[in-house]
Amino acid sequence: MDFNLTEEHIYIQQTARDFAKNEIAPTAVDRDIKAEFPAEIVTKLGELGFMGMMVSPEWGGSGLDTLSYVIAMEEISKVDASVGVIMSVNNSLVCHGLQKYGNDEQKEKYLKPLAMGQKLGAFALSEPEAGSDATDQKSVAELKGDYYYLNGMKNWITNGTKADYYLLQAVTDKSKGYKGISTFILERDFEGFEIGKKEDKLGIRSSDTCSIGLNNCKVPKENLLGSEGLGFKIAMDTLNGGRIGIASQALGIAQASYEAAVKYSKERKAFDAPIAHLQAIQFKLADMAVNIEASRMLTYKAALLKDANEKYIKESAMAKLYASKTAVNAALESIQIHGGYGYVREYLVERYLRDAKITEIYEGTSEIQKIVISREVLR
Ligand code: CAA
């Protein structure tokens, strides 16, 4: 087993690090305060090849492996987790599904511009009454002639008000339970597609989250992804990969919290010496360092299994569960080390805590990850 990154991975890490420092960091604080979407940054991420990292070059992507994506996601999220989730949704929740389940016409029309970063994607599974219990979909799709007519409501849609294309699940046959759920490709200007309320969030405020209404939304039948009834399988498969993305986002937030704590504890003096000399601080830093490294290893392992075409359901859930908890704890401890300075906007660590919390909620709460893991363990 080789723990060293390849030259290519180091290059991607450095590219992402430079981009985050030069292009993302200067506006991160302001965008968080104003809850402003980083449109220009997203365009530049596309030009860099980061919006379709794992998509084959044939379909406009960068043709990289999942580990490259994890490494880039960590670096981007370390500076701004809002940008991290925008990138993650486009890569793992939209491009992945289109590449794996789409036909050539769908790939040409939708995957190519998404992978090249010319268009932005969103994933619409959650509903007001179907969050953790994702099989309980109320949105319905009825085929009449050449069109499906979709009715219902979707919630918590990342990139929602900004996206061009949406992968959306709706029920085509209620009698079949989750086997009657299908996935559709929607365009924002389809008749009956309504962008709903933009959410005012605790964290990842520069990312965009909204609800979506489907009011007899008219979708051409060729926009069915895969076949009827495959929707829940597509969603679960997509989320297995998505959880690797969120684990890397959490890893980035944890690493940022930790680095801020190390720096501050070397600079800040109390009792005639830097606070880093106090064992109370040292133990916090040691715990952070161990948990971050463990999160990184879990996330890398899930990525490597995915690339080896091996089963990674359990490993991606483990990575997300552990890395998200690590991010929240690292941000909390970093604030504690900063004392009062950690509690005000002047230092970045209060944002890290606000951003970290969502990683324990979206793409399956920590409780759902435990269900996924335990089912795999007991199988
Ligand atoms: N991978 C592959 N298949 C899976 C799976 C997984 N992780 N989890 C479940 N399945 C399969 C099961 O094997 C089963 O198929 P078979 O009958 O063929 O074996 C089928 O799905 C139904 O599963 P269950 O019988 O286990 O159904 P359940 O209702 O008991 O549990 C659940 C399902 C695991 C709780 C699922 O509903 C779930 O993952 N919920 C969380 C949903 C979620 O993560 N939402 C996030 C929203 S997206 C988001 O946040 C995006 C964003 O914008 C950032």
43 lines ligand 1 (CB under 6 A): no
Q: How far apart are CA 377 and CA 379, in angstroms?
A: 6
N- to C-terminal Cα separation, the chain: 28
Q: What is the pTM of this model?
A: 0.97
pLDDT classification of 152: cutoffs 50, 70, 90: very high
Whether 76 and 252 have beta carbons less than 8 Å apart is answered as: yes
The best mutation among 83, 85, 93, 135 to test binding of ligand 1, ranked by most ligand atoms within 8 Å of the C-beta, falls on: 135
pLDDT surpassing 90 at residue 162 = yes
pLDDT of residue 76: 98
- 236 CA from centroid of ligand 1 (Å): 5
Quick one: which of 118, 19, 7, 16 has its CA closest to 69? 16
- Greater confidence (1 vs 362) lies with 362
- Greater confidence (347 vs 26) lies with 26
CA angle 112, 158, 293 (to 5 degrees): 90
Q: How far apart are CA 233 and CA 190, in angstroms?
A: 25
- 182 CA from centroid of ligand 1 (Å): 14
pLDDT of residue 330: 98
Polymer length of the chain: 379
Closest CA to ligand 1's atom 52: 158
pLDDT surpassing 90 at residue 1 = no
- Give percent of the chain above pLDDT 70: 100
pLDDT of residue 2: 85
126 lines ligand 1 (CB under 6 A): yes
- 120 CA from centroid of ligand 1 (Å): 25
Whether 373 and 312 have beta carbons less than 8 Å apart is answered as: no
Q: How far apart are CA 90 and CA 93, in angstroms?
A: 6
- Give percent of the chain above pLDDT 90: 98
318 lines ligand 1 (CB under 6 A): no
220-276 per-position pLDDT tens digit: 999 999 999 999 999 999 999 999 999 999 999 999 999 999 999 999 999 999 999
Structure tokens at 97: 């599904």
Quick one: which of 266, 324, 337 has its CA closest to 298? 324
Query: Which candidate in 333, 363, 367, 376 is catalytic?
Result: 363
pLDDT surpassing 90 at residue 64 = yes
Domains, the chain, with CATH or none = 7-120 (1.10.540.10), 122-231 (2.40.110.10), 233-377 (1.20.140.10)
Q: Is residue 363 annotated as a catalytic residue, yes or no? A: yes
The mean pLDDT value for 18-46 works out to: 98
356 lines ligand 1 (CB under 6 A): no
Closest CA to ligand 1's atom 16: 233
87 lines ligand 1 (CB under 6 A): no
Query: 67 to each of 25, 46, 106, 276, 300, how far by Cα in Å?
Result: 23, 18, 26, 34, 6
Q: How far apart are CA 212 and CA 215, in angstroms?
A: 10
pLDDT of residue 300: 98
The mean pLDDT value for 352-374 works out to: 98
- 363 CA from centroid of ligand 1 (Å): 10
372 lines ligand 1 (CB under 6 A): yes
Mean pLDDT of the chain: 98
Give the ligand 1 atom nearest the CA of 209.
53
- 134 CA from centroid of ligand 1 (Å): 7
> Range with the lowest mean pLDDT among 68-77, 126-135, 245-254, 287-296?
126-135
313-350 per-position pLDDT tens digit: 999 999 999 999 999 999 999 999 999 999 999 899 99
Structure tokens at 294: 């463990």
85-123 per-position pLDDT tens digit: 999 999 999 999 999 999 999 999 999 999 999 999 999
pLDDT surpassing 90 at residue 177 = yes
171 lines ligand 1 (CB under 6 A): no
Give the ligand 1 atom nearest the CA of 362.
50
> Phi and psi of 298, rounded to 5°?
-60, -40
178 lines ligand 1 (CB under 6 A): yes
248 lines ligand 1 (CB under 6 A): no
